[in-house]
């Protein structure tokens, strides 16, 4: 019961912030950076590469309601993957996705904002490479699932009105890859820069 009351209080506080916002600011920009992928397998494969380093980039739109609350949507191209050993054979998997995150922004002044929400990953390409004296490539990789979703949490550091640093963690909520005959999720950590290319600000009541 106490949790329901707390949730209702937070929801009402957020609604009141939107209703009392003196302006709405819309920004469109580009972002990109480095991405590390963790393969959340159970049991864990032998000698896994827990953070497979790759990258991402794309477009985003931010709508700020006053000085506290905002929302952000994006469409990013991202590379993910991993490496592990199975019975002495080294296997490397790689996938490319369109990531579609939708997040809530909570601004703590002009310099810092916190970001929470969800992300939908849509598979574009996949590859499985096996090395054991000779190399075997399989494309597409049947172990890579076409869709998966995850929860998002992060923080933004703003450097003026144009550039910001974005640190974000995606935690997989659904299966993304099949190995050992069972599916498992993945999670990613990213660090990148965003650039606001176009910004339009107007009163919320005009």
Scanning the structure block, which residue is given the tokens 């003196």? 22
Q: Which helix (H) or strand (E) holds 157?
A: strand 147-159
What is the overall mean pLDDT for the chain?
84
| Cβ 92 vs Cβ 83: under 8 Å | yes
What pTM was computed for the model?
0.81
C-alpha span between 201 and 79 (Å, rounded): 34
41-98 pLDDT, tens digit per residue, is: 655 555 555 567 899 999 999 999 888 899 999 999 999 888 777 677 788 889 999 9
H helices of 20-178, where? none
């Amino acid at each position: 019961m106490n949790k329901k009351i707390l949730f209702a209080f937070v929801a009402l506080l957020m609604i009141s912030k939107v209703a009392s916002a003196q302006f709405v600011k819309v920004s469109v920009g580009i972002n990109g950076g480095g991405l590390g992928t963790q393969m959340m397998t159970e049991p864990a494969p032998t000698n896994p590469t827990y953070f497979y380093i790759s990258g991402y980039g794309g477009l985003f739109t931010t709508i700020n309601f006053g000085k506290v609350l905002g929302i952000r949507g994006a469409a990013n191209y991202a590379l993910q993957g991993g490496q592990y050993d199975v019975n002495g054979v080294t296997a490397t998997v790689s996938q490319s996705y369109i990531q579609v995150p939708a997040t809530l922004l909570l601004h703590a002044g002009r310099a810092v904002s916190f970001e929470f929400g969800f992300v939908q990953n849509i598979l574009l390409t996949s590859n499985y490479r096996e090395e054991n004296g000779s190399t075997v490539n399989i494309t597409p990789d049947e172990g890579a699932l076409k869709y998966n979703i995850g929860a998002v949490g992060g923080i933004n550091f703003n450097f003026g009105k144009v550039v910001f640093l974005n640190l974000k963690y995606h935690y997989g909520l659904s299966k993304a890859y099949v190995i050992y005959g069972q599916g498992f999720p993945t999670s990613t950590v990213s660090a990148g820069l965003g650039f606001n290319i176009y910004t339009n600000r107007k009163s919320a009541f005009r």
